Amino acid sequence: MNERNALENYIEASAGAVDLTIRAEHLESTAQALAVLLEQGKILMAFPLEQNTESATQYSP
């Protein structure tokens, strides 16, 4: 399976999980945008955070 097929399969599976239907004409551009996001996600997930690093979801500088 090539990378684009894998992306499209991912899109189909995860879109259903959030009750979203991606129209055929939007699939190509969504796959491109998703590829960029996943690339950024890899950079983010590779960062070695200490286990005791607390979340800053409630943000106040």
Partner 1 sequence: MIPYPTLAARDIARQVRRREITAAEITEAALATVNQQNHRLNAFTAVLPERARAEAVRVDVDIAAGHKPGPLAGVPFAVKNLFDVKGLSTLAGSKIRRDVPPAQQDASLIRRLAQAGAVLLGALNMDEFAYGFVTENAHYGATHNPYDTARIAGGSSGGSAAAVAGGLVPLALGSDTNGSIRVPASLCGIFGLKPTYGRLSRAGSFPFVHSFDHVGGFARNVADLALCYDLMQGEDPSDPAQSLRPIEPSLPNLQMPVENLRVAVLGGWFQQGALADALDALARVAAALGATATVELAASDVARAAAFCVTAAEGANLHLPDLRVRAGDYDPATRSRFLAGALLPGQYLLQAQRFRAWYRAQALELLQQYDVLLAPATPCIAPLVGQVFMKLGDREIPVRANLGLYTQPISFIGLPVVTAPVWLDGAELPIGVQIITAPWREALGLQVANYLELSGVVGYRAPA
CA–CA dist 40, 47 (Å, integer) = 11
CA 21, distance to chain mean position in Å, is 16
Q: Which is nearer to partner 1, 1 or 47 (CB)?
A: 47
Least gap, CB of 13 to partner 1 (angstroms): 9
CA–CA dist 15, 52 (Å, integer) = 33
Longest dimension (CA), the chain: 46
44 near partner 1, judged by CB under 8 A: yes
Query: Which residues of the shown chain bind partner 1 in the complex (CB under 8 A)?
Result: 10-11, 14-15, 18-23, 26, 29-30, 32-34, 36-37, 40-41, 43-45, 47, 49-50, 53-57, 59-61
